[in-house]
Homo-oligomer: A and B are copies of this chain.
């Protein structure tokens, strides 16, 4: 089988490599010509031969719609476009409808695996019709981890990205819970051996996990994380998770708290806490700390 893969960055580049190792031919296209196998989308589609052709997009969210507009006239009924990036699930129905007008299938695929995916495989969460899923399944099989897990057809259009969004929302909560526990152990006088505590937790405990394994790795080289700053970006899915939960009236206190902790981590100073300090000064005469220059 041969597919087109557009977007050969950190994720897409490794995915091309894993696909090739597992017997899928890949025509890659990137805005960086040094990474590309073809010069443009037309050449990519032309190189895929007879249909049904499969084109996998692994590009930033803002690049998806223009790319789909470029691809539609190049493709034919029965072909399949896959959005495997971190796109917002609410975009999927629109993209599916737009391609559907030309008889082209659309699948949204949430992809997890990060820098470990090349070796371990990518967990894939797929949304869209069964007919298209069946066409693309050899690609999914080549990308997914060995063994029985790591691939699911989660539902109709949008289900793949919705599922990946929730995966990441959970991830926020898990990371924050571990991080709070670590901070508490570090703050305690009584526990003197925190990196070894974390390492010991890798077997026999209720909280053993892959994230725990990664924390142990991080602590091996920097036992008190003195070399890095407490600054954490968010990539969108955490926000979408909270917003989706709010829209569906689902209480998500830990996921929201995790997201807010990241927001705070990026503030030089907290406006809200300025106001709290100002109020304390007003009613109690409590000293305020002058702002730093």
Interface residues of A (CB under 8 A from B): 10, 89, 112-117, 120-125, 127, 144-159, 162-163, 166-188, 190-193, 196-197, 199-212, 214-215, 217-218, 222, 225-233, 239, 241-267, 269-286, 288-292
Contact = CB atoms under 8 A, between A and B. Distances in A.
Nearest to A288: B228
A159 B191 contact: yes
Given A183-B275, A231-B273, A154 B199 contact: no
Given A152-B193, A230-B269, A261-B272, 5 more contacts: A145-B203, A150-B204, A178-B275, A210-B283, A214-B279
A265 B273 contact: yes
A247 B239 contact: yes
Q: How many copies altogether?
A: 4
A46 to B, nearest CB: 33
A214 B283 contact: yes
B206 A283 contact: yes
B197 A125 contact: yes
Nearest to A120: B204
Given A170-B180, A244-B188, A261-B276, A115 B285 contact: yes
Contacts of A244: 184, 188
B201 A250 contact: no
A262 to B, nearest CB: 7
A150 B10 contact: no
22 contacts: A120-B204, A123-B201, A123-B204, A125-B200, A175-B275, A176-B254, A177-B254, A179-B271, A180-B255, A181-B255, A182-B275, A183-B270, A186-B271, A188-B248, A207-B211, A209-B209, A225-B278, A229-B292, A232-B273, A250-B263, A256-B260, A264-B273
A214 B283 CA distance: 7
Contacts of A279: 175, 178-179, 211, 214-215, 218
Nearest to A246: B239
Contact of A282 (B152, B214, B266): B214
A155 to B, nearest CB: 4
Contact of A272 (B148, B176, B291): B176
Contact of A177 (B120, B173, B291): B173
A276 B228 contact: no
A183 to B, nearest CB: 4
Contacts of A146: 203
Contacts of A112: 204-206
Given A248-B187, A276-B176, A278-B225, A205 B239 contact: no
A178 B280 CA distance: 13
